[in-house]
Structure 1
Amino acid sequence: MGFTICGPKLSLCGLVLSVWGIIQLTLMGVFYYIGAVALLEDLPVEEGAHSSIDHFMAEVENGYNQNAFNCWIAALLYVITLVISGHQFWMNNRSSVSM
């Protein structure tokens, strides 16, 4: 039971982009989780609204953790896209072989 939603080229493109997205976002999530200094500029920290260094450090730590979880959630969404694209690629190849 299954039907094709997209063609073979689009499903192959979805497979390639999904694999790349999973790798990239998983690695970015790991780097955010370990607190890579190179990613500090991408944190949602307000400038000039810090009363103490402890408050600033807590906000930076919270930003790193939130961005790491956001990257991992996006990677999981790419896993779903990978499964759908893989299914479509299989369905298109199966239907072209049976003709």
Structure 2
Amino acid sequence: MVKLCGPKCSACCSLLSIWGVIMLLLMGIFFRVNAIAFIEDVNLGDVKDLTKEKLESTYTTTSNNCFIAAGIYALLTAVSVWQFSVNRKSQYQVT
């Protein structure tokens, strides 16, 4: 088993990654339903040419980006939890 980081770092990264997955999944859902609260976070470009289809397309693209980022955070969560378990096992081994 390879130790990449210590027990405190792996615990901290695990918690932050879990929070990142939850937050990004919720943001992705809210972007998918075109929540008006997130209008400032959508890249609208030129507002003069704004149509309903373009706005919905931009919301969908932003939602997809949130889901992709949540997937990356899920991978980091798995690595952090794995490192946490490696550190816990090495604490109980007698050398």
Normalised by the length of structure 1, the TM-score is: 0.90
Compute the displacement of 1:56 (Å). 1.6
Seen in structure 2, the aligned counterparts of structure 1 residues 3 and 71 have a Cα distance that, compared at 3 Å, is same
2:85 pairs, out of 82, 86, 90, with 90
In structure 1, the residue matched to 2:73 is 78
Q: Identify which range, 41-50 or 62-71, moves more after superposition.
A: 41-50
In structure 2, the residue matched to 1:9 is 8
Compute the displacement of 1:20 (Å). 0.3
**Cα RMSD (Å) of the superposition?**
1.1
Compute the displacement of 1:57 (Å). 1.1
4+ residue segments displaced more than 3 Å: none
In structure 2, the residue matched to 1:58 is 53
Structure 2: segments with no counterpart, 5+ residues: none
Compute the displacement of 1:41 (Å). 1.4
Question: Deviations along 1:35-86, whole A, 9 cap, x unmatched?
Answer: 1011111111123441xxxx52111111100110000000000110011001
Name the % identity: 35
3-state SS of the aligned residue for 2:92? helix
Question: Amino acid of the residue matched to residue 12 of structure 2?
Answer: C
Structure 1: segments with no counterpart, 5+ residues: none
Normalised by the length of structure 2, the TM-score is: 0.93
The whole-number CA distance in structure 1 between the counterparts of 2:70 and 2:47 is: 33
The whole-number CA distance in structure 1 between the counterparts of 2:71 and 2:24 is: 9
